[in-house]
């Protein structure tokens, strides 16, 4: 469990603070927008695959 939480958290923090504290807000905002767009496209693919509105392709249904 620690690996599934610790490794992504470390990677996000490393990416966010890579250029220093001044740009951390912009990089984090970009990361959040990227994840939102990615999840939106996964949702669209799940609808094309015949899944319900609460199902994500490969990830499963909520």
What's the pLDDT at 47? 72
Q: What does the pLDDT look like over 9-59, one tens digit per residue?
A: 888 888 878 777 777 888 888 888 888 898 888 877 777 755 555 555 555
* DSSP collapsed to 3 states, the chain: CHHHHHHHHHHHHHHHCCCCCCCHHHHHHHHHHHHHHHHHHHHHHHHHCCCCCCEECCCEEC
What's the pLDDT at 50? 59
What's the pLDDT at 59? 56
Q: Is the pTM of this model over 0.85?
A: no
């Amino acid at each position: 469990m620690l690996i599934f939480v610790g490794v992504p958290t470390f990677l996000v923090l490393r990416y966010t603070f890579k250029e220093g504290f001044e740009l951390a807000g912009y990089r984090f905002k970009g990361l959040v927008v990227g994840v939102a767009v990615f999840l939106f496209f996964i949702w669209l693919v799940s609808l094309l695959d015949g899944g319900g509105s609460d199902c994500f392709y490969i990830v499963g249904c909520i």
